[in-house]
């Protein structure tokens, strides 16, 4: 299971935040600066920008990730744990408290994180060297394979419910009680400051507190009360990561996934088609016909090579509040009487769970209809669920808010050939349909989507009685004094034949409804495809569209709109082999560094590291000033004796050599960061080869300075990657497998974040911030008569990047001359960053050579220069002549 692009973006956002934290040290300052650089400073009056960091949990980094329903929050969290632990102090145990709000979600989470065949656990095993254990509350209380030695050497995930920590009564009080099974933790602790008042130091809550865990809060919008905040404080976390589709006002949002990104990645079945009927009987009849129609499409697609899909209807029955209501028991009886096989129907309510142990995705599973009330509102999803058919009384607004998200997940995360299989459906019979639509919108918003993600048809108001032929009684269904209010179900009017295979005849009620839904689906499919095509050519980051009320954007100056709109900047594209997995994308995709590294293997690359020189470098780095301030004394950063880290070090060195290599490799891996697309087994083998010829003494020094050694190895591996990516890029350019085509337009508006000074000839009404050298360069550029406009190119997906063997090189400026030359300018001030700048020069020159004569690339240093670059004086002379 690989990360989707938007999921990788979330991890990149987390990494970026922790980069700010490493520089600034304070979680709040880091958070505020992080968002100021993206959106600009926060304005308390206009509420533009991201609201400043709230220190809800003292001493902890508290962040929130917003991901809509079906966006893969749990998979993101599994990957995020690696990001967090790589950036948190390395001498602390890797303990995680994974909090969930409901018992069914707790069972599901424990099962998925524990199952070695589940993608979540497989990813955790890969990221944490197969040293992972998952505990529920009972295992923790019993001390089952839970002791200080085990916790120190692995990733330990404690899955618990909010209730087990919020309350101190009944069984949940055990978390706060004395526990002899956990005495080994107490024996090793010298610091008792973590012990809660009125609790024994051996209580599970105090053991957890002593581990300073990372806390993952799933569905965190349910944990905003004062009691919930106290619950989080009680865990003594060093980091809290909230996961939710609907963050509350006090959430410190570090990353948001736009709903449009889920659509683009085929994660969700949107839009929702909402269809209102005249009575409950019609809802049932339409649901049965629609399910069969969808299933026939799925079967046809499977025969053509597609995957197995068995569309499921969720019938939302009335709660037991009156004898006449269509309760779940009555509905099952009615469906069986209508000819539906009983094995195809399951009930899932608060008291009845016929889904337990049923694998709904199995081709052997017969279930096509699930009857519920609101029991599926959270913590349950099945991508085969397509239709939500509500049987609420017609006099009520249908309350589908709580379970509308259950039909959104897309089977196999792919677009299906039959367009109706890419959408979901809500069928109702309500006199208050507008209120029902508001409930659908609220449900979509609760799932992280918007009011734009549905289409509605209200045939109860539109169709004349004659359109229903002889199937309907000759009276108004809206006459509340008549015999029939539309709330009763008449089996005689259900036209669905379970033994038949064809769609209902044209002209019948069921046929009319099915035609309407099909036409709506086809129309929405065309709109969605057009929207996706428009987004593919738009440089705007969707996050800014979702946060339109929080961003300060600036339009292009009116005098430059016409000339700027004529320019489409080219990017590098790569041919897709015929018959390849991505061939449906039109024969080419944009070149990425990872794409150039597709076949890279560390195996066979040089493993030589000058150990003695590196050790000397470590000593040199760690020389400290003496207390007098005059003398210097060498002080290599040893781990202090008696610490947990020193115990771990001695424990590793006491093992057999093969185990030493394995353990030290794992420790070093934590400092290598993201090495994608190299596989983890490949990295592990390489580290083993590096270590296999070293002595125990050298192992000891590595363990005591692992961060420095890890960084040196990272630089070495990155060198291999850089060389391989550039070699492929050059070769594929020569063979024509990499080529250029127009791809990027100047956006109509920009969100610069921090605003730069007002300088004449700027393309936009305000441009992004400038450093002192950049300011001086643009003042000179703007003063040249042959310059039409200049633009401060924005980074992080906002502006234009040169793609290729470097990971998206964003030149600092884009200039246009009167003679029709478009110039990309990278400025470097007084400093040289050697190989990185040299690689950018090679990539920039390759871009300008292949883009055509009208496109130029320059790298400019204030005084110094590299081969292929220019000093500022040289550059000004060249530009003036263009």
pLDDT for 378 equals: 56
Question: Are the beta carbons of 275 and 513 closer than 8 angstroms?
Answer: yes
Is 568 among the domain residues? no
pLDDT tens track for 119-130: 999 999 988 888
Q: What is the DSSP string of 160-188?
A: EEHHHHH--SGGGGGGGS--GGGHHHHHH
Q: What does the block give as tokens for 504?
A: 């209902």
Burial class of residue 459, CB neighbours in 10 A (0-12, 13-18, 19+) = middle
Number of structural domains in the chain: 4
103 and 129, same domain (yes or no): yes
CATH number at residue 377: 3.40.50.300
Please, what is the Cα angle at 657 between 656 and 660, to 5 degrees?
90
Looking at residue 124, its pLDDT comes to: 93
- CA–CA dist 510, 282 (Å, integer): 8
Do 716 and 808 lie in one domain? The reply is no
- Report the 10 Å Cβ neighbour count for 321: 9
Residue at 576 is within a domain: no
297 with 237, same domain?
no
- Give the 3-state DSSP-derived string for 117-156, with helices as H, strands as E and coil as C: CCHHHHHHHHHCCCCEEEECHHHHHHCCCCCHHHHHHCEE
Do 392 and 522 fall within a single domain? yes
Same domain assignment for residues 205 and 272: no
Q: ∠203-206-212 over CA atoms, to 5°?
A: 150
Total-model pTM: 0.75
Tens of pLDDT, residue by residue over 543-572, are 565 666 677 888 999 999 999 999 999 999
User: Do 869 and 777 sit in the same domain of this protein?
Assistant: yes
Give the C-alpha distances (Å, rounded to integers) separating 142 from 163, 174, 497.
19, 11, 56
Residues 6+ apart with CB under 8 A from 789: 557, 560, 563, 564, 761, 762, 763, 815, 816
Position 165 in a domain = yes
- Residue 755's pLDDT is 87
Residue identified by tokens 């734009």 is: 452
Task: Give the residue from 223, 242, 257 where a domain finishes.
Answer: 257
Together in a domain, 346 and 493: yes
Q: Are 176 and 164 in contact (CB under 8 A)?
A: no
Task: Tell me the C-alpha distance between 201 and 676, whole Å.
Answer: 43
Query: Distance between CA 612 and CA 245 in Å, rounded?
Result: 52
Strand 424-428 with 454-458, pairing: unpaired
Our separate counts of H helices and E strands in the chain read: 29, 26
- Greatest CA separation for the chain: 105
- Both 393 and 506 in one domain: the answer is yes
pLDDT less than 70: residues of the chain: 90-91, 167-172, 188-191, 318-326, 374-380, 392-402, 432-437, 439-487, 501-503, 505-508, 530-549, 577-587, 610-649, 651, 830-835
Residue 570 in contact with residue 822, Cβ under 8 Å? no
pLDDT confidence of residue 486: 54
The reply to whether 248 and 286 lie within a common domain is no
**Residue 764 is part of a domain; what is its CATH number?**
3.40.1350
Q: Find out whether 314 and 346 touch, Cβ atoms under 8 Å.
A: no
| Token pair in block for residue 806 | 């470097």
pLDDT at position 462, please? 47
Six token digits for residue 560: 């430059």
**Residue that finishes a domain, picked among 257, 274, 296:** 257
pLDDT of residue 834: 59
Q: How many residues appear in the chain?
A: 882
Quick check: is 9 in a domain?
A: no
Q: Do 383 and 409 touch, CB atoms closer than 8 A?
A: yes
DSSP 720-774: HHHHHHHHHHHHHHHHTSEEEEEEEE--SEE--SSB----TTBSBSS-B---HHH
d(CA 269, CA 419): 10
Query: Of 240, 257, 274, which one is at a domain's C-terminal end?
Result: 257
Q: What residue numbers bound the domain in which 520 lies? A: 262-472+488-533
Residues 252 and 393 in one domain: no
- 337 with 203, same domain? no
Any domain includes 6: no
145 is a domain residue: yes
Any domain includes 236: yes
> Torsion angle of alpha carbons 399, 405, 410, 415, nearest 10°?
70
pLDDT at 631: 36
3-state secondary structure of 371: strand
pLDDT tens-digit readout, 558-607: 999 999 999 999 999 988 765 444 444 456 788 888 888 888 888 778 77
Q: Are 538 and 530 in contact (CB under 8 A)?
A: no
Q: Is 578 a member of any domain? A: no
Let me know whether 230 and 278 are in one domain: no
């Amino acid at each position: 299971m690989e990360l989707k692009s938007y999921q990788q973006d979330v991890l990149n956002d987390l990494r970026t935040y922790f980069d700010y934290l490493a520089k600034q040290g304070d979680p709040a300052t880091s958070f505020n600066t992080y968002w100021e650089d993206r959106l600009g400073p926060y304005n308390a009056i206009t509420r533009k920008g991201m609201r400043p960091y709230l220190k809800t949990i003292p001493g902890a980094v508290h962040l929130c990730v917003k991901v809509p329903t079906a966006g893969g929050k749990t998979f993101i969290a599994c990957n995020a744990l690696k990001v967090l632990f790589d950036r948190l102090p390395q001498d602390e145990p890797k303990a995680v408290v994974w909090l969930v709000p409901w018992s069914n979600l707790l069972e599901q989470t424990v099962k998925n994180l524990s199952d070695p065949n589940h993608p979540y656990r497989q990813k955790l095993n890969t990221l944490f060297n197969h040293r992972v254990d998952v505990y529920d509350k009972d295992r923790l209380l019993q001390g089952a394979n839970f002791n200080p030695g085990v916790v120190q050497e692995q990733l330990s995930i404690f899955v618990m419910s909010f209730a087990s920590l919020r309350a101190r009564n009944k069984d949940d009080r055990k978390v706060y009680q004395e526990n002899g099974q956990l005495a080994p933790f107490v024996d090793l602790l010298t610091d008792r400051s973590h012990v809660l008042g009125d609790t024994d130091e051996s209580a599970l809550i105090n053991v957890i507190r002593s581990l300073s865990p990372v806390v993952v809060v799933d569905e965190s919008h349910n944990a905003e009360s004062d009691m919930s905040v106290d619950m989080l404080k009680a865990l003594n976390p060093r980091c809290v990561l909230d996961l939710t589709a609907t963050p509350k006002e006090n959430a410190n949002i570090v990353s948001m996934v736009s709903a449009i990104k889920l659509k683009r990645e085929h994660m969700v079945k949107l839009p929702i088609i909402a269809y209102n009927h005249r009575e409950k009987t019609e809802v049932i009849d339409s649901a049965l016909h629609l399910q069969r129609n969808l299933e026939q499409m799925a079967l046809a697609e499977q025969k053509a090579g597609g995957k197995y899909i068995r569309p499921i209807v969720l019938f939302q029955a009335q709660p037991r509040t009156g004898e006449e209501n269509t309760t779940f028991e009555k509905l099952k009886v009615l469906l069986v009487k209508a000819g539906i096989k009983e094995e195809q129907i399951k009930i899932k309510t608060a008291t009845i769970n016929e889904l337990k142990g049923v694998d709904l995705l199995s081709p052997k599973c017969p279930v096509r209809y699930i009857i519920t009330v609101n029991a599926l509102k959270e913590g349950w999803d099945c991508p085969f669920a397509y239709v939500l058919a509500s049987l609420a009384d017609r006099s009520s607004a249908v309350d589908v808010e709580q379970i509308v998200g259950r039909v959104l997940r897309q089977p196999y995360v792919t677009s299906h050939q039959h367009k109706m299989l890419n959408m979901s459906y809500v069928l109702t019979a309500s006199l208050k349909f507008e209120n029902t639509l508001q409930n659908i919108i609220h449900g979509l918003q609760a799932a992280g989507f918007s009011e734009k993600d549905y289409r509605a048809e209200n045939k109860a108001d539109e169709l004349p009685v004659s359109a229903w032929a002889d199937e309907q009684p000759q009276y108004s269904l809206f006459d509340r004094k008549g015999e029939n209010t539309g709330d009763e179900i008449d089996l005689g009017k259900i036209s669905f034949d379970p033994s038949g295979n064809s769609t209902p005849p044209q002209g019948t009620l069921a046929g009319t409804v099915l035609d309407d839904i099909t036409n709506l689906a086809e129309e929405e499919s065309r709109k969605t495809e057009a929207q996706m095509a428009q987004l593919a050519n738009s440089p705007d980051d969707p996050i800014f569209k979702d946060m339109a009320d929080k961003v300060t954007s600036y339009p292009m100056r009116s005098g430059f709109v016409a000339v700027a709109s004529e320019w489409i900047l080219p990017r590098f594209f790569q041919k897709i082999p015929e018959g390849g997995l991505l061939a449906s994308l039109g024969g080419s995709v944009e070149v990425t560094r990872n794409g150039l590294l597709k076949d890279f293997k560390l195996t066979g690359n040089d493993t030589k590291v000058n150990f003695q020189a590196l050790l000397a470098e470590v000593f040199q780095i760690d020389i400290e000033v003496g207390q007098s301030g005059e003398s210097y004394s060498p002080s290599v950063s040893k781990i202090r004796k008696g610490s947990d880290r020193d115990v771990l070090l001695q424990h590793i060195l006491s093992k057999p050599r093969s185990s030493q290599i394995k353990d030290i490799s794992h420790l070093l891996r934590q400092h290598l960061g993201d090495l994608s697309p190299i596989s983890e087994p490949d990295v592990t083998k390489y580290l083993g080869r590096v270590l296999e010829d070293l002595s125990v003494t050298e192992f000891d020094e590595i363990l005591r300075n692992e961060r420095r050694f890890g960084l040196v190895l990272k630089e070495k591996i990155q060198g291999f990657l850089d060389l391989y990516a550039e070699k492929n890029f050059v070769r594929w350019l020569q063979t024509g497998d990499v080529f250029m085509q127009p791809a990027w337009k100047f956006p109509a508006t920009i969100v610069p974040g921090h605003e730069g000074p007002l300088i004449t000839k700027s393309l936009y009404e305000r441009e992004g911030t400038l450093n002192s050298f950049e300011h001086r360069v643009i003042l000179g550029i703007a003063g040249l008569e042959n310059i039409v406009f200049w633009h401060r190119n924005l980074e992080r997906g906002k502006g234009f990047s040169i793609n290729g063997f470097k990971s998206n090189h964003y030149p600092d400026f884009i200039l246009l001359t009167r003679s029709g030359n478009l110039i990309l300018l990278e400025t470097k001030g007084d400093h040289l960053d050697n190989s990185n700048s040299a690689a950018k020069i090679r990539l920039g020159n390759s871009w300008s050579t292949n883009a055509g004569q009208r496109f130029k690339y320059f790298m400019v240093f204030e005084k110094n220069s590299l081969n292929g670059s220019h000093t500022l004086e040289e550059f000004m002379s060249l530009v003036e002549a263009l």
